[in-house]
Structure 1
Amino acid sequence: MGIFSRLSDIINSNISAILDKAENPEKMIRMMIQEMEETLVEVRSSTAKVIAEKKTVNRRIDRLRQQAADWESKAELALGKEREDLARAALIEKNSVLETVAALEEELSKLDMTLDKLTVEIEQLQAKLTDARARQKTLLMRTTAAQSRVDVNQKLHDVNIDSAMHKFEYYERKIDLMEGQVDSMNLKQRGLADEFEELANQEKIDQELEDIKAKLNKK
């Protein structure tokens, strides 16, 4: 697959749709980021090569233009010496050199177009990579949070905790029973006290009745 084809596939990809369909989104986003990073390295390497090639072509064009100028100077010199044949030959060489310059300038234009395209693609790929890394961070945070909830639930249902809760409930029931026994004893003691109090009140009433009877008999 060509580099531009790979770039186009990556840049036009819908990360959300891909992750929604993935069985393991974390693994998928990790693979996507790796692919983007590798492609970005390759694109930057290609860009560096294009820049280097541009410099080479520009140097060749400069040298050839200098050669063309030299041939033109030679043609002028030949004409000054009335050597039109040499002047014609020099001009032929000059035109040949300028044709080469024109071809190189066309090649340079293509290199500029390629470089412009690579620059745009790098910017788009970098933006896509930044987005993917942000999504990876979000996924990791969600995974960590989910794992924390799982750990808490596991601890809540831990055998030791369940056993401790059962023991706690057992001791609660035991204390309730002891408190019930104490309350029962208090009720019994209170009932006995009430009986004695009732007897005392009955005795007092009987004494008052006897006093009244005695008073009436004296009359």
Structure 2
Amino acid sequence: MGILSRTSYVIRSKINAILNRSEDPTETLDYSYEQMRDQLQQVKRGIADLTTQKKRLEMQKKRLEENVDKHNDQARRAVAQDRDDLARKALEKKKAKMSQIEELEGQIGKLQSQQDQLIEQKDTLQNRIEEFRTKKETMKARHQAAKASSTVSEAMTSTGEQFEDVGRAIERAEEQTEDMEARAAALDELHESGAFEDVMSDKDQIDRELESLSSGSEVDAELETLKSEMGKGSETEERDVEADLENEADLEDLEDAEVDEDVEADLAELREEER
């Protein structure tokens, strides 16, 4: 295969591929159906033209037949008047007209055969067009159904991919949320442990412990000073509290004794009543 032949073949294949991608089968079917209907109309017009020609020949034949009858009458009248010469001329015209009639009958017969053949072809073509129309509608319905199914499948596939993307996005969001929660917890722990203060200060652990001990010693010293200042007053208050407690105990003993006397009196009355 030469270069030009290969180039031509490649170009035709590319064009064919482009046409296949851009072709709509339903439109092609409709176009083919319209083409077949146009052919049927052409066949019908051909039959109509043929029938018209046949009718013209039949009308011409009818006129010739009328002339034959006319010439026959002329010959009879001429014989009746002893005009054999006129009768001969009439008969000659009659014979010529009959020859034309015979020729017309042959032409009419051929046209009739062609008409019958065209009518048969027209009926066959019409039946095929009806069959094609049924197949066309069936194929269009199947094509539309397949197209709809393909569209749904593509949509489902696209939806599945989108769901996968959404799932991955959710996983990333969960991971980021967990990282943020862990970081927040770590920051809280660092705040509680004072690690941030360590970062902001030059003091080490020993310095902090010494400061803590110093602070505790200062608090203890202040507490001892407060106790020494309040020592006298505290002893007096303690003695007053003890005296109050003793008075409360004596009152409770008196109340209990009075209650016991009342109970004894009630018991004595009950014994008297029983007697």
Report the TM-score when normalising by structure 1.
0.61
Where in structure 2 are the equivalents of 1:69-218 lying within 5 Å? 69-158=69-158, 162-163=162-163, 166-167=166-167, 170=170
**Structure 1: 5+ residue runs without aligned partners?**
1-22, 175-219
Task: In structure 2, give the amino acid aligned to 1:45.
Answer: R
C-alpha separation in 1, matches of 2:149 and 2:28: 24
C-alpha separation in 2, matches of 1:169 and 1:32: 52
What's the CA shift for 1:35? 2.8
The number of equivalent residue pairs is 152
What's the CA shift for 1:27? 5.6
Identity of aligned residues (%): 22
Task: In structure 2, give the amino acid aligned to 1:35.
Answer: Q
Where in structure 2 are the equivalents of 1:34-45 lying within 5 Å? 34-45=34-45
Match of 1:63 in 2: 63
Residue deviations 1:34-58 (CA, integer Å, cap 9, x gap): 3321111111001111222222111
Residue deviations 1:138-172 (CA, integer Å, cap 9, x gap): 2111111111112112221336972488359949x
Q: Is the 8 A contact 1:68 1:94 kept in 2?
A: yes
Task: In structure 2, give the amino acid aligned to 1:151.
Answer: T
Q: Is the 8 A contact 1:155 1:161 kept in 2?
A: no
Structure with larger RCO (C-alpha < 8 A, sep 6+):
1
Question: Structure 1's 92 and 115: CA in aligned 2 closer, same or farther, altered over 3 A?
Answer: same
What SS does the aligned partner of 1:140 have? helix
Query: Superposition RMSD on alpha carbons, in Å?
Result: 2.8
Greater Rg by CA: 2
What's the CA shift for 1:29? 3.6
Task: In structure 2, give the amino acid aligned to 1:142.
Answer: R
C-alpha separation in 2, matches of 1:131 and 1:153: 32
Task: In structure 1, give the amino acid aligned to 2:81.
Answer: K
What's the CA shift for 1:110? 0.8
**Structure 2: 5+ residue runs without aligned partners?**
1-19, 175-275
Report the TM-score when normalising by structure 2.
0.49
What's the CA shift for 1:133? 1.2
Task: In structure 1, give the amino acid aligned to 2:121.
Answer: E
